[in-house]
Amino acid sequence: MPVLPFDIPFLSVFSSAAGGEEGVAFADTLLSLFILFLAAKMGEEIFRRINQPGVIGELLGGFIVGPFALGLAHVTLTAEVFAELGVVILLFTVGLEVRLDDLLKVGPMAIAVGTIGFILPILAGIGIGLAIGEDILPAALVGLALAATSIGITSRVLAEMGVLDRAFSRVILGAAIVDDILALLAIGVLSGLAEGDLGPETLVTLIAGLLFVGIGLALAPLGRRIPRKVFVWPKFADTPVVPVFIIMFAGALLAQFVGLAAIIGAFVVGLFVAETPVREEVEHGFRSLLGIFAPFFFAVTGANIDMSALLDPELLLIVLVLSVMGVLTKLLGGIIGSWRLGKWNSVVVGMGMSPRGEVGIVVAALGLSLALISQEVYAVLLAAVILTTLVAPVMLQWVIPRAPRDERHGGDEAGAAA
Amino acid sequence: MPVLPFDIPFLSVFSSAAGGEEGVAFADTLLSLFILFLAAKMGEEIFRRINQPGVIGELLGGFIVGPFALGLAHVTLTAEVFAELGVVILLFTVGLEVRLDDLLKVGPMAIAVGTIGFILPILAGIGIGLAIGEDILPAALVGLALAATSIGITSRVLAEMGVLDRAFSRVILGAAIVDDILALLAIGVLSGLAEGDLGPETLVTLIAGLLFVGIGLALAPLGRRIPRKVFVWPKFADTPVVPVFIIMFAGALLAQFVGLAAIIGAFVVGLFVAETPVREEVEHGFRSLLGIFAPFFFAVTGANIDMSALLDPELLLIVLVLSVMGVLTKLLGGIIGSWRLGKWNSVVVGMGMSPRGEVGIVVAALGLSLALISQEVYAVLLAAVILTTLVAPVMLQWVIPRAPRDERHGGDEAGAAA
């Protein structure tokens, strides 16, 4: 490791000693991490002081210091890794707060919300795609880019507002799993169609994804039988934090390996640990990890916001139409799928499912690499994905206080569990 | 962020969607981090179970999965950043355990240990360098590479054995600061001489380094007057952990900027926070950060071990001579400088100063880039630096139990402070 890698004149001898370019890259990486973190926290601070969701402040803080604004921080591969670990730890801690039984109780509702909320955006996207003159396959890709929810942002808002124990939160989390499995399938089918070879791989991928979630959920109840001493059995472990970190990391990697999002793996591991006797200890120990890693996720997401598509009025219009339809279709999916939770609670579910994220970006990138869509449509899709991400926290902060606690389905169990 | 970056056949469509090479690099980085972490913990586990220092197990674990052995994990830039943050957090938490008054009490002794233990290895290195036929300047470089202590390893051993409150620990920590300032000066002078322009920059660098440490130590007592509410004033801070993390990170970057090691900056910030009322809360909150980040430092250090120089019997001899002289000179520096602590305590100080680290590697790399030394001498220096690192923990575990607590100087205050 370079000791003195800053590239200022009277120290240049050191950075050359540390390996020239590598030394500079190292220093730049560390400094960029610091700037991203600081910007996220300052943004959060400002937004909290004006009673707005802190997460929007973190996103905007990252945007402001990022390459598309002031350019003070580079989004290095290292920053992306910190961001990924941040959202993995975030979803793991969300899993810690959810009781598996409560989650399974809302299972059918979550499947309805996840499925309806996945199909409607695809239909809307196809409609918009055809309307702007695309063929059916590119139009389907536009729809798919709008279909997959990313619950990083939502779960942060739910945690911040202290409502992770509410029924709507569990429906959102369950629906996100369903959503991710559907995305896995749809991406496989679409790319198979585009490349003209819809082989058995798609089926294998789907089965692997279903098996992962199925086995994970089936194993979770076994957590109750595992005594604390198993977690602190290693000599290196005074507390369960490090062993659990290893399990969480492994779960995230395994989920990625079978084709799911890493955060789904981390969430399932969180569900498992929540059933064990070390739950509270782990929750406590992970608090500082969450505090240090999670801001990188929001700062990096913000720093990657490229709003250049919004400068062209015609493209701006398409972006707005896509964003509005993106939010409305998820909202409708939530309302239809979880209507039994009551009006406002189902609106919360719909809004909670609205933010799109990395899956939408991956789909757009896939379309670009398969030459299904143009650079312009790609930029439009990214902008629309990001807008849905920015809108949701503000809306959630507004609708959650309106959702009554004593709705008939789910609310009661939630109260009892808390 | 790529969602599915693993480069396995039926998922290749995903990694291409995630940007091809970048997606693979991302997946490889995450997986390498996991393997390094797991290897460090497994190595620690095995060594602890055979009653050897855990840190050696972590180093060897990293070595075994690293590029010079099995090659399962790549030492990416991201891994180096995790390692650097690991040792920064380690030295910060060590600073938390030290009371400034106790450190200042051993100040003269620390200056003696740091200075004698810096000059003796240089003299020995010059002697060996001349003996193997080098000119005076390359020989001086060999000496300098052997001169600078790196206390990452030692402080981990001291913390593991619960002896950070002992007088010898404070002498080692103080001497490490002195040592780092001397290294800053010596590297500047040597590279000035080698390039034939010993300008005023060296002096500026030295003054900046002295100012940093001086101002840091002068500010630390002010910590006593800072109430807890200042640390949790930000709305984003329920606990002081995140604000203190920012201060620690800034201190490490600032130290690097003025030419000191980042860990010296983190240590000084730790001394400061130790004086504030949030000390215990921060110590508690940083425990999981330490548990997650620090293993990367040891694993990466281990993974970077290139022992190829040891395969040539002639080079192996030089390596062994350099290592033995490296340990003996530091030992002598400790014994002479802290003789008043008593025989065994002063031996502990000397052994604690023995591990060399990144500064030695930087000096060797500097020599190579200035064409002062050959590739062979470079490899020999690296191997010698690493051997001093491996020897110290084993020796410390052996000598520390022999060092009586009731020595006249320093021991008493340590007892009172504990």
Residue (of B275, B289, B202, B197) closest to B245 by Cα position: B289
Q: What is the pLDDT of residue B416?
A: 36
Lowest mean pLDDT among A34-43, A210-219, A241-250, B179-188: B179-188
Strand pairing partners for A356?
A149
Q: Say yes or no for a CB contact (<8 Å) between B45 and A81.
A: no
Confidence tier at A153 by pLDDT (50, 70, 90): confident
Overall size of chain B counted in residues: 418
As a whole number of angstroms, the distance between CA A399 and CA B62 comes to 50
Look at A410 and A369; give whichever has higher pLDDT: A369
Phi-psi region of B52 (alpha: psi -120 to 50; beta: other; left: phi over 0): beta
State mean pLDDT over A43-50.
93
Give the residue from B141, B236, B253 with the most A CB atoms within 10 Å of its CB, the best one to mutate.
B236
Report the alpha-carbon distance of residue B370 to residue B238 in Å, rounded: 51
pLDDT more than 90, % of chain A = 51
| Tens digit of each residue's pLDDT (9 = 90 or more) over B189-235 | 887 777 776 677 778 878 888 888 889 889 988 989 999 999 999 98
Instruction: Output the six-digit token pair for A212.
Output: 């992962």
Alpha-carbon A128 to chain mean position: 25
At residue B20 the predicted structure's pLDDT band, cuts being 50, 70 and 90, is low
Return the pLDDT at A22.
Answer: 67
Cα–Cα dist A179/A11, whole Å: 52
- pLDDT at A8 exceeding the cut of 70: no
B82-103 residue pLDDT tens: 999 999 999 899 889 888 888 8
Mutate to test the interface with A, among B263, B288, B386 (most CBs of A within 10 A): B288
Answer yes or no: is pLDDT of B272 > 50: yes
Spatial separation of the C-alpha atoms in residues A225 and A242, rounded to whole Å: 20
Side chain identity at residue A66, one-letter code: G
Q: Across the interface, do A3 and B261 touch by the CB < 8 Å criterion?
A: yes
Amino acid symbol at B65 = V
**Can you say how many angstroms the Cα of residue A101 is from the centroid of all Cα atoms in its chain?**
23
Euclidean distance between CA atoms B267 and B274, whole angstroms: 10
The pLDDT of residue B196 is 72
Range name among A105-119, A143-157, A360-374, B386-400 with the lowest pLDDT average: A360-374
- In this prediction, residue A379 carries a pLDDT of 85
Q: Residue A226 and residue A241: Cα distance in Å, rounded?
A: 15
Question: Does the pTM exceed 0.80?
Answer: yes
**Look-up: residue for tokens 């993106």?**
A326
In a 3-state reduction of DSSP, which class is residue B409?
Answer: coil
CA distance A161 to B373: 61
Percent of chain B with pLDDT over 70: 91
Residue of B nearest to A198 (CA): B10
What b/e readout covers A73-100, taking b as 16+ CB neighbours within 10 angstroms? bbbbbbbbbbbbbbbbbbbbbbbbbbbb
Q: Give the integer Cα–Cα distance in Å for B228 and A67.
A: 36
Over residues A55-67, mean pLDDT: 92
Contact B286 A288 (CB under 8 A): yes
Q: What angle, rounded to 10 degrees, do the helices at B136-145 and B107-131 form?
A: 140
Contact B296, B33 (CB under 8 A): yes
Tell me which of A382 and B115 has the higher pLDDT.
B115
Q: Is the pLDDT of residue A77 over 70?
A: yes
Residue B4 is classified by DSSP as -
What's the pLDDT at B22?
A: 67
The span from the CA of A1 to the CA of B81, in Å, is: 9
* pLDDT on residue A341: 93
Element counts in chain A: helices (H) and strands (E): 19, 0
Nearest by CB: A77 against B17, B26, B260: B26
Chain B residue whose CA is closest to A7: B257
Q: pLDDT band for position A21 (50/70/90)?
A: low
A4: left (phi over 0), alpha (psi -120 to 50) or beta: beta
Q: How far apart are CA B175 and CA B115, in angstroms?
A: 8
Residue B152's CB is within 10 A of a number of other CB atoms, namely 26
pLDDT at A195 over 80: no
Question: What's the pLDDT at B21?
Answer: 63
User: Phi/psi of residue A149, each to 5°?
Assistant: -75, 150
Of the pLDDT bands very low, low, confident and very high (cuts 50, 70, 90), residue A20 is low
Across A83-87, A204-208, B109-113, least confident range: A204-208
Which of A191, A236, A359 has the most B C-beta neighbours within 10 Å, making it the best mutation to test the interface with B?
A236
- Find out whether A151 and A172 touch, Cβ atoms under 8 Å: yes
CB atoms within 10 A of CB A50: 7
Mean pLDDT of B163-191: 88
Query: H helices of A67-219, where?
Result: 77-96, 100-105, 107-131, 136-145, 152-160, 167-195, 201-219
pLDDT at A12 over 60: no
Q: Which of A5-9, A182-186, B365-369 shows the lowest mean pLDDT across its residues?
A: A5-9
A383 band by pLDDT with thresholds 50, 70 and 90: confident
Q: Which of A13, A160, A287 to probe the B interface (max B CBs under 10 A)?
A: A13
pLDDT at A229 over 50: yes
User: What mean pLDDT is reported for chain A?
Assistant: 86
Residue B274 has pLDDT above 60, yes or no: yes
Would you call A72 helix, strand, or coil by DSSP? coil
Q: How confident is the model at residue B378 (pLDDT cuts 50, 70, 90)?
A: confident
Q: Helix axis angle, B375-399 relative to B313-337, nearest 10°? A: 50
Read off the DSSP letter of residue A149: B
What average pLDDT score do residues B304-333 get?
Answer: 89
Using CA coordinates, name the residue in chain B closest to A256.
Answer: B4
Cα(B140)–Cα(B187) distance, integer angstroms: 11
Res A1: pLDDT: 34
CA angle B348, B353, B359 (to 5 degrees): 165
Q: Could you give the percent of chain B with pLDDT greater than 90? A: 51
For B316, left (φ over 0), alpha (ψ -120 to 50), or beta?
alpha
Q: Could you identify the residue written with the tokens 């009551």?
A: A342
Q: Is B362 in Cβ contact with A4 (below 8 Å)? A: yes
Q: State yes or no: pLDDT of A415 exceeds 50.
A: no
CB-nearest to B25 from A49, A77, A285 is A77
- Gap from A408 CA to chain B (nearest CA, Å): 34
What is the Cα–Cα distance from A186 to A213, expressed in whole angstroms? 17
Q: B94-137: per-residue pLDDT in tens?
A: 889 888 888 888 999 999 999 999 999 999 999 999 998 889 98
Contact B77 A365 (CB under 8 A): no
Instruction: Take residue B130 and report the two structure tokens written for it.
Output: 């001349």
Contact of B359 with A3, CB cutoff 8 Å? yes
> How large is the average pLDDT for residues B159-169?
91
Closest residue on chain A to B291 (Cα): A242
Q: Are A380 and A309 in contact (CB under 8 A)?
A: yes
The confidence score (pLDDT) of residue A258 equals 85
Query: Which among A189-198, A209-218, A344-353, B253-262 has the top mean pLDDT?
Result: A344-353
**Exposed, middle or buried by CB within 10 Å (0-12, 13-18, 19+), for A52?**
middle
Find the mean pLDDT for residues A330-342. 95
- B-chain residues within 8 Å CB-CB of A49? 235
Chain B nearest-CA residue for A19: B365
Spell out the alpha helix ranges (H) of B106-166: 107-131, 136-145, 152-160
- The count of CB pairs under 8 A between chains A and B is 215
Q: Give mean pLDDT, residues A279-292.
A: 95
